[in-house]
Structure 1
C-alpha cells in the first residue's frame, strides 16, 4: 500500500513539475492571438547626460566646417572617441555649439533638434541650404536580477524591444518571475514604473514597452530562490532531481 501511494505521489510530482513549467516558464503563450497586430513605435526624447553627435553640412563644406567642432573625429569608427568629442546635454537640457552657442535640446526628439539647428542656421544668416544630422551616442539600459548576464548594456538603435534587451542579457534564469518584469523609466523629471507579463503577448504592440535610453529592467526571483537565500539556482531541476531520487529509491525497495 505504501509503495502504491509513493508511486502515485511521484507521478503527481512529475505532472506538477510539467504543468508549472508550462504555465510559468513559457514566453508569449498566446502569441497566435496577436498575429498581424499593428506595430507602433515611440520616438525617444533627448535627456540630460545624453551625448549627441551633430554633423552639419552645406553645398560648400568650407562654410559649414566652423559649426562642426568634432569634425576631426567625425569619420572615426571608434564610438568612445566620438563620445569624447560629442555634445553633452546639461541637466537643464542644453548643449553649447560653435557660433550658435546654447541650444535647447532636452525633451526634443533627435529629428526635432535637427530642425531647430537647421532653422537657426538659416534665419541667423549663417548657411543657405544646410543639412543637419543628430545622433545619440550613449544609448544604454541597465538590467538587474534574474538574468544570466546582468549589467549596463549599450545599443545603437533609437529603441529596442524588451525581448532584444533580454537577449542581450543572456535570457532569464529559471528562477525569474516571468509574470512581473519591472521596467523603470524617467520622463520629464518623473519616474515611471511598468509591469510586464512575459507569459502573454498582449504587451508587444504597446510602444511604451520598447526599451529606450537609460531604462532600467528589474527581474525578481521566485519565492523558492528567495527563501533558499540564493542557494538554489534552478528550482525546476531540483524538483526533477528529487523525483528521480525517490523513484530510484522505490525501484530498489521493490527489488
Structure 2
C-alpha cells in the first residue's frame, strides 16, 4: 500500500508541476506600454488621415448661401419604406451615397467621373472646392465615409466587426471595442491585415512596448482586420485538453483517499 501511495504522489506532483509551470506568465508578456516613460512626445498625431479605398461609400453634401444653386450637385433623397411592428408601412427619406468603384472613381453630378481613390479627405475637399468653385462662390462641402468598419478576431473578449462613426480610430480603441484581450492573448505579436493599393499587407504590432504608438499601424484604416494570436499557454491547454484541471482535481482526490486509507491501516 505504501508503494502505491508513493507512486500516485509522484504522478500527481508531476502533473501539478506541469500545470503550474504552463500557467506562469511574466510581467513582460502582459503589461502594456512598458517603456512609455522613456518615449519622447510626438506632436504630429493630428496630421493622420486615411485614404479613400474602392468599395467605400461616401456621403458628399454640397451647400451654399443660395440653396437652389447647390441642389444640382447633390444626389436626391430616396424614400425607403419600412414595416413597423403594427404592420403599417412607413416612409423614410435617406440620402444616397457614392460608391467608389474598383478603379477609385465616383460619378458625381455635373462634374462627371472623379478619381477619389488613394486621396485623403483633405485632398478630395480641395479638389471639390476647386471644381465646384467654378459654379458656386464659397461652396460648403461635407464629406464622410458611411461604411467605415474594422474587424477584431482571436483572443479578445468580444470578437466581431465594428462600425466606426469617425474617420480615425486607433488600435487600442479597436481592442477596447472588443472588450480587450483575454489573458491568453499574445500582446507582443498582434497581426493587422490591411489593403494598400489593392494588395493585402500583413503587419505585426507589439503593444507591450509603447513605441508602437508611433508606428503606421497605431491608427487603423477602414476594413482593417486585427487578429490576436493565442499565447503558448492557450495552445498547450488546447493540446492537452480542456479537462486538465478536472483530471488534476480527480488525481488529488484519489491521493487524499489513499492517504486516509494508509493512515487508517497504520
TM-score (norm 1): 0.76
Aligned to 2:71: 65
Any idea what SS the aligned residue of 1:208 has?
A: coil
Say if 1:242 and 1:25 are closer, same or farther in 2 by CA, change over 3 A.
farther
For residues 192-231 of structure 1, the aligned pairs below 5 Å read 192-227=201-236, 228=238
Q: CA deviation at 1:28?
A: 2.0
> In angstroms, what is the RMSD of aligned CA positions?
3.8
Q: In the alignment, is the contact (CA less than 8 A) between 2:186 and 2:231 conserved in 1? A: yes
CA shift digits 1:125-172 (9 cap, x unpaired) = x21221212111111111111111111111112121111100101111
In structure 2, the CA distance between the partners of 1:90 and 1:207, relative to structure 1 (3 Å rule), is same
Residue 56 of structure 2 is matched in structure 1 by: 50
**Are the counterparts in 1 of residues 59 and 144 from structure 2 also a CA contact under 8 Å?**
yes
Aligned length in residues: 239
> Per-residue deviation at 1:30?
2.5
Cross-structure match for 1:77: none
Unaligned runs of 5+ in 2: 1-5, 80-92
User: In the TM superposition, what are the counterparts of 1:117-196 in structure 2 within 5 Å?
Assistant: 117-123=128-134, 126-196=135-205
1:34 matched to 2:33? The reply is: no
Q: Taking structure 1 as reference, are residues 132 and 223 closer, same or farther at Cα in structure 2, changes over 3 Å only?
A: same
Q: Distance in 2 between matches of 1:53 and 1:213?
A: 15
Q: 1:15 Cα deviation (Å)? A: 8.8
Q: TM-score, normalised by structure 2?
A: 0.74
Change (3 A) 1:221 1:11: closer
Tell me: CA distance 1:72–1:114, structure 2 relative to 1, closer, same or farther (3 Å). farther
Which structure has the larger Rg over C-alpha atoms?
Answer: 2
